[in-house]
Structure 1
Amino acid sequence: MTDIENPGDAPTQLAAGGQNAVAHALGIIGDEWTLLILRHATAGVRRYSDYMDRLPISNSVLTNRLTRLAELGLLEKVAYQQRPPRFEYRLTKRGRDTWPILLAIWAWEAAWVPQHEEQLPVMRHGRCGQAFQPLLMCAACGKAVEPRDVTGGFGPSGTWERSVPAATTRRRSFAGSSASPGLFPQTMALIGNRWSSALLGAAFLGAHRFKDFEQRLGAPPTMVADRLRTFCDLGVLRPAPGVDRADWLSYHLTAKGRAFFPVVMCTLDWGHRWFKAPEGRALVYRHTECRRIFTPRLSCDQCREPLRGSDVTIEHAA
């Protein structure tokens, strides 16, 4: 049973004391099949058969994901034929609003993950005509933003317990597999598991020591150790001798880890806009330079103009 009552183009009103916007956003975005379906949906795919042609997916998994995305209000199931009955799945406003997340993930994977079997297509900005990388900006003042430029923490509905997504879907794992890693192999390692996404959030909120991660997440020590080891293997965290004792390691975000910040901010922003807890926001961030509530905006790094989903074209390699 879910506390989501009104999926569609209006924000969902969450139950008091339940999972907050962060948990709901990560529970949706942290699933690879969901990301791949949304990616094709934004390119105009609507029909079941077209998804089957484009994705290495089973009928049962595709049916499950399309049904879930319709229930969550990202897709709308619409009949296009009566005899026999056939349906297509159209993006709602909530679904279309995920494009900054997809764009940020695409850019991070292209810049930092070399293990794609095929080169990722180039993104081109329709307004200036240049190949580009999305640049994270403050919507209030228009300045470019790095992780160090944003401060904040939990808001009225924010606790670690309420922010951890439920394990509602089965994630694909490509570790040690010869299968294609898809478009988002390392993104899934960071947000495709409820404890991974929580640990990443703790790192961006300033956790460094093992006991800090353990206390904030409320996860078993073996789970924390496994996730820290995975993040270090991926080059997202860097271990260093502790200040108090050299054998007590301290974990710090690397340049690769900090570069994932736009994905995190765009995901949280989407979650807060579409999932409303009665107590208020789960997380509150401010841009230290302008001192306003930080709302992320992606701009073209070539012309600095704000990006819109309709401005971005994808060019596949010849």
Structure 2
Amino acid sequence: MTPRPPSVSEDVTALPRGGQNAIGVTLGLLGDEWTLLILRQALQGTRLYGDWMRALPISHAVLSGRLGRLTEFGLLERVAYQERPERHEYRLTRRGRGVWPILLGIWAWELSHVERHAEELPRMRHHGHLFEPVLVCGGCAAPVGPRDLVGGFGPSGTWERSLPSATTRRRSASAPGHLEGFFPQTTALVGNRWSCAMLGAAFQGARRFRDFERQLAAPPVVIADRLRTFAELDVMTASANGGYRLTAKGLAFFPVAVHTMEWAQRWFRSPEGPALSYRHTACGAPFRPRHTCSECAEPLRGGTIERVGQ
């Protein structure tokens, strides 16, 4: 069941008992290339409908639909700024501003691991120097990778409840190896409900075909197709023992996954409890993902990052 959108943008959304959890709701909302691009422009200061139309190769129908959905779910607020004639602008809420670590992770992954894009990706500068974001533990500030965490599903966390609804998914036609998409390979990973689930299962340790089949209850033909796509993207590869393993490129997508998880559970909550729960093995604290600067090691904030170029 898709939750009713929040009526007040700063409120946490209560999800129905036994329904889609925070992860499923968030993937259904953010697993869409146009939505990510609209939010990217909003974080750069875009507020007016016409400015989005000029900045993006987007149709009126798609832009209106995405802005409406982002407003319903509390990431944007539609505010009148002129009375005669009445005109509105779309302002980011605190919930909307909170997606910047996800977009920063996508930018860094695409810049480092995807060679071709429809537009040249800008570099980013922090306190005057080019940098890459580093994923660290919010408790002890140590760098973190997938193997540094323990945990998994919480009280509301089953694979069935974590899948985005197929009927509400809206995604662009981006495909692996093509230039149509601005975030082509990110969209291939998060713009398909089974890709999301299989990537999550791989981060939780699934390695064999039967592991994915058993955990996800997905048809074998779907699993085979997704594994083939992951291989084409060089995100997973067949291992010598007959299983599959994440490549360095696949492991590098982990910051995007954990920041999405944190944002999801910050703003959408099931009455049974969290969907996912992890601890950092080194310090034992509940894991809270944070980005730091690769050059100065300071925590990154949206307002301290400057675009260079496009």
**If the TM-score is normalised by the length of the shorter chain, which range does it land in?**
over 0.9
The answer as to 2:211 corresponding to 1:198 is no
Given that residues 4 and 14 in structure 1 are in contact (C-alpha distance below 8 angstroms), is that contact kept between their aligned partners in structure 2? Answer: no
The answer as to 2:55 corresponding to 1:57 is no
Report the more deviating stretch, 173-182 or 226-235.
173-182
Q: C-alpha distance in 1, partners of 2:176/2:199? A: 23
The answer as to 2:175 corresponding to 1:175 is yes
AA in 2 matched with 1:314: R
AA in 2 matched with 1:172: S
Task: Tell me the equivalent position of 1:99.
Answer: 100
The answer as to 2:309 corresponding to 1:316 is yes
Q: Which of 243, 254, 262 is the aligned partner of 1:261?
A: 254
Q: C-alpha distance in 2, partners of 1:144/1:222? A: 37
Task: Tell me the equivalent position of 2:12.
Answer: 11
Q: C-alpha distance in 2, partners of 1:176/1:291? A: 39
Deviation readout 1:143-165 (Å, 9 max, x if unpaired): 11111111211001100010001
Deviation readout 1:30-52 (Å, 9 max, x if unpaired): 11000000000000000100000
Displacement of 1:24: 1.4
Task: Tell me the equivalent position of 1:81.
Answer: 82
The answer as to 2:155 corresponding to 1:156 is yes
Q: How many residues align?
A: 308
AA in 2 matched with 1:235: D
AA in 2 matched with 1:96: R
AA in 1 matched with 2:28: G
AA in 1 matched with 2:237: R
Q: TM-score, normalised by structure 1?
A: 0.93
User: SS at 2:291's partner residue?
Assistant: strand
Task: Tell me the equivalent position of 1:137.
Answer: 136
AA in 2 matched with 1:169: R
Task: Tell me the equivalent position of 1:246.
Answer: none
Given that residues 7 and 71 in structure 1 are in contact (C-alpha distance below 8 angstroms), is that contact kept between their aligned partners in structure 2? Answer: no
Q: C-alpha distance in 2, partners of 1:187/1:177? A: 12
Displacement of 1:25: 1.6
Deviation readout 1:80-104 (Å, 9 max, x if unpaired): 1222222111000000000000000
The 1:176–1:119 alpha-carbon spacing in structure 2 relative to 1, beyond 3 Å, is closer
Displacement of 1:181: 2.4
AA in 1 matched with 2:187: M
Task: Tell me the equivalent position of 2:277.
Answer: 284
User: SS at 1:224's partner residue?
Assistant: helix
Q: C-alpha distance in 1, partners of 2:181/2:161? A: 31
Given that residues 3 and 15 in structure 1 are in contact (C-alpha distance below 8 angstroms), is that contact kept between their aligned partners in structure 2? Answer: no
Q: C-alpha distance in 2, partners of 1:72/1:12? A: 9
The answer as to 2:113 corresponding to 1:112 is yes
Displacement of 1:212: 0.9
Task: Tell me the equivalent position of 2:268.
Answer: 275
Structure 1 residues without counterparts, runs of 5 or longer: 243-248
The 1:178–1:223 alpha-carbon spacing in structure 2 relative to 1, beyond 3 Å, is closer
User: SS at 1:252's partner residue?
Assistant: strand
User: SS at 1:314's partner residue?
Assistant: strand
Task: Tell me the equivalent position of 1:23.
Answer: 24
Structure 2 residues without counterparts, runs of 5 or longer: none
Q: TM-score, normalised by structure 2?
A: 0.96
User: SS at 1:19's partner residue?
Assistant: coil
Task: Tell me the equivalent position of 1:245.
Answer: none
User: SS at 2:174's partner residue?
Assistant: coil
The answer as to 2:213 corresponding to 1:214 is yes
Q: C-alpha distance in 1, partners of 2:266/2:174? A: 32
Displacement of 1:176: 8.0
User: SS at 2:129's partner residue?
Assistant: coil
Displacement of 1:194: 0.8
Displacement of 1:64: 0.2
User: SS at 2:117's partner residue?
Assistant: coil
Report the more deviating stretch, 111-120 or 37-46.
111-120
Given that residues 74 and 91 in structure 1 are in contact (C-alpha distance below 8 angstroms), is that contact kept between their aligned partners in structure 2? Answer: yes
User: SS at 2:130's partner residue?
Assistant: coil
The 1:39–1:5 alpha-carbon spacing in structure 2 relative to 1, beyond 3 Å, is closer
Q: C-alpha distance in 2, partners of 1:290/1:151? A: 12
AA in 1 matched with 2:188: A
Displacement of 1:118: 3.7
Deviation readout 1:149-206 (Å, 9 max, x if unpaired): 1121100110001000112133112338975321x11001111111110110000010
Identical aligned pairs, as a percentage?
56
Given that residues 173 and 180 in structure 2 are in contact (C-alpha distance below 8 angstroms), is that contact kept between their aligned partners in structure 1? Answer: no
Deviation readout 1:210-235 (Å, 9 max, x if unpaired): 11111211211111111010001100
AA in 1 matched with 2:146: P
Q: C-alpha distance in 2, partners of 1:81/1:179? A: 39
Q: C-alpha distance in 1, partners of 2:12/2:170? A: 26
Q: C-alpha distance in 2, partners of 1:29/1:150? A: 24
Displacement of 1:280: 0.8
Please report the RMSD computed on the Cα atoms of aligned residues, expressed in angstroms: 1.5
